[in-house]
Amino acid sequence: MGNEKRDIIIIGSGPAGLTAAIYAARANLKPLVFEGAQPGGQLMITTEVENFPGFKDGIMGPDLMQEMRAQAERFGAEIVTADVTKVELSANKKIVWEDEDAYETKTVIIATGATANLLGLENESRLMGRGVSACATCDGFFFTNKEICVVGGGDSAMEEATFLTRFASKVHIIHRRDQFRASKIMVQKATDNPKINFIMDSIVTDVLGDQTVNGVKLKNKKTNEISELKVEGMFVAIGHTPNTKMFKGQLDMDEKGYIITCSDKTKQTATSVPGVFACGDVQDPHYRQAVTAAGTGCAAALDAEHYIEAME
Ligand code: NAP
């Protein structure tokens, strides 16, 4: 372990991790940020962000992340473009590894986010941000007066489809079964909405379009019938997976793998291990917004700062 003991190591570089870095750096704690091999989090695959306060004309997702990163560096955050490969987290000892390099630290802030589950189709990733989206609140506005579809049968699909009817002329919900996973009330709300149409027992087998989406190919699972649906947008709402594999067995998590925070009443981002804090989507299955992630990032840095003060 060729490194001196750190005050704070931050894992992740979305809005949560970088806001934590800005606050920790300004508190003179010289945070070390492992931004990952693919830095910036989910906003890197978003086009225009119109709901982040302070940007009245909107800002491109990657530009917003670049600004946050530069702001953290300006105050002295040290940023490493590499993935953390292993952690050892206990009340008395915290070690973070990047391959062979081990870093001991007084506190760890986990901001590794969550990844939207996708269908796994080649054209789905090619057209991501150009008609394909995994975030209705981020991108709904771009589909004003357009016909679109939402894939999924859970609460997110119902909520997003209902929200999208504010903009879209028609929203087709495509679900792979004939029963919904979503709660009755959410299904009822969608059913009552005249702009929503349901396509059941069907899966999307391809996303069509050259530069932007102009349709999806469907297969009915009961009849095997293949059809095409003309839509200009496809929202994938089939759940998220928190990026917590590395912490399994070391931190308390819920059944879906989200880190449980708030184990200390005075520190809302505290995890089950003293001195380890979590912020952003990795601990939030509900709001999942850049601004809420940034808010909890700030809280995690303040919680870590107070923890270090109490230690000393
Ligand atoms: P979810 O409940 O896990 O539902 C995912 C849906 O996507 C299911 O209908 C599933 O189909 C479908 N799906 C999964 N993989 C698929 C694939 N490869 N191809 C096609 N369809 C696929 O996820 P969620 O809707 O994101 O909700 C997550 C949690 O947040 C839930 O606990 C939910 O209640 C909560 N939530 C609550 C609210 C609210 O109360 N306002 C809003 C949003 C979310 P199957 O049903 O066939 O498995």
Catalytic, 149? Answer no
Tokens 């709001």 sit at which residue?
Answer: 287
Q: Does the pTM exceed 0.75?
A: yes
Per-residue pLDDT, 213: 98
217 burial type by CB count under 10 A (0-12 exposed, 13-18 middle, 19+ buried): middle
Average pLDDT of 120-125? Answer: 97
Could you identify the atom of ligand 1 that is nearest to the CA of residue 153? 9
* Cα gap 176→74, rounded to integer Å: 49
Please name each of the domains of the chain with its CATH number. 6-115+240-311 (3.50.50.60), 118-236 (3.50.50.60)
**Which atom in ligand 1 lies closest to the alpha carbon of residue 177?**
47
Residue nearest to atom 48 of ligand 1 (CA): 181
Pairwise pLDDT comparison (295 vs 50), residue with the higher score:
295
Where b means 16+ CB within 10 Å and e means fewer, 272-297 reads bbbbbbbbbbbbbbeebbbebbbbbb
Catalytic residue among 7, 138, 149, 281: 138
pLDDT digits (tens, 9 = 90+) for 13-71: 999 999 999 999 999 999 999 999 889 988 886 667 888 999 999 998 899 999 999 99
Residue 2 in this model has a pLDDT that exceeds 90: no
139 catalytic residue (yes or no): yes
Partners of 103 in the beta sheet? 96
Pocket lined around ligand 1, Cβ cut-off 6 Å = 119, 151-157, 159, 176-177, 181, 238-239, 285
**Ligand 1: distance of its center to the CA of 54 in Å?**
32
Please give the span between the terminal C-alpha atoms of the chain, in angstroms, as a whole number.
23
Look at residue 3 and tell me whether its pLDDT is greater than 80: no
Instruction: Fill in the DSSP letter of residue 153.
Output: S
Q: Calculate the average pLDDT of the chain.
A: 95
Burial classification of residue 97, based on how many CB atoms lie within 10 Å of its CB (0-12 exposed, 13-18 middle, 19 or more buried)? middle
Nearest CA owner, ligand 1 atom 16:
238
Q: Which residues of 128-142 are buried (b: 16+ CB within 10 A; e: fewer)?
A: bbebbbbbbbbbbeb
195 alpha carbon to ligand 1 midpoint, in Å?
Answer: 21
Q: Is 138 a catalytic residue?
A: yes
Confidence tier at 264 by pLDDT (50, 70, 90): confident
96-119: average pLDDT: 96
- Indicate the pLDDT class of residue 135, thresholds 50, 70 and 90: confident
User: Looking at this protein, which amino acid is placed at residue 120?
Assistant: G
CA of 239 to the centre of ligand 1 (A): 5
